[in-house]
Amino acid sequence: MSYPVIVTNDFFENFPNITWIDVETGGLDESTDKLYEVAALVTDRNLNILDPEGFKIVVHYPLEQVEALRNASVSFVQEMYDKTGLWERLPSGTPLSEVDIKLHEYI
């Protein structure tokens, strides 16, 4: 069941900025699929981007694990990350525990 979200001007008095977060994953099953990349932008209430550079970070996985993650992904995900080069960036990424800290610091 979903409920409509009503945002009033009072909301923006207490929370003047909106954080937009995008993630790249191996799928939507939280018990088996992994987080690969996180990006974030912060806007004001009028949707003006406050930091044009935003936040973007790749999560670290050892090279041996990357091959297994790729092979376990559906073909659509395999091809998408082949094209973007995400699979190749995972071994030089940032440990997940640090990703969490850096994202909170950015926000």
Instruction: Burial-class residue 73 by CB neighbours within 10 Å (0-12, 13-18, 19+).
Output: buried
* Of residues 18 and 13, more confidently modeled: 18
CB distance 45 to 18 below 8 Å: yes
Which pLDDT does position 7 carry in this prediction? 63
The C-alpha atoms of residue 107 and residue 104 are separated, in whole angstroms, by 5
pTM metric for this prediction: 0.82
Q: Which residues pair with 94 in a beta bridge?
A: 59
Task: Say which residues have a Cβ less than 8 Å from residue 33's Cβ, sequence separation at least 6.
Answer: 25, 26, 27
Q: Is the pLDDT of residue 1 over 60?
A: no
The C-alpha atoms of residue 30 and residue 40 are separated, in whole angstroms, by 20
The C-alpha atoms of residue 19 and residue 29 are separated, in whole angstroms, by 24
Which pLDDT does position 33 carry in this prediction? 85
**How does the average pLDDT of the chain come out, rounded?**
90
Average pLDDT over residues 22-33: 87
* Of residues 55 and 16, more confidently modeled: 55
Q: Which residues pair with 40 in a beta bridge?
A: 21, 55
Kindly report, residue by residue over 34-77, the tens digit of the pLDDT.
999 999 999 998 899 999 999 999 999 999 999 999 999 989 99
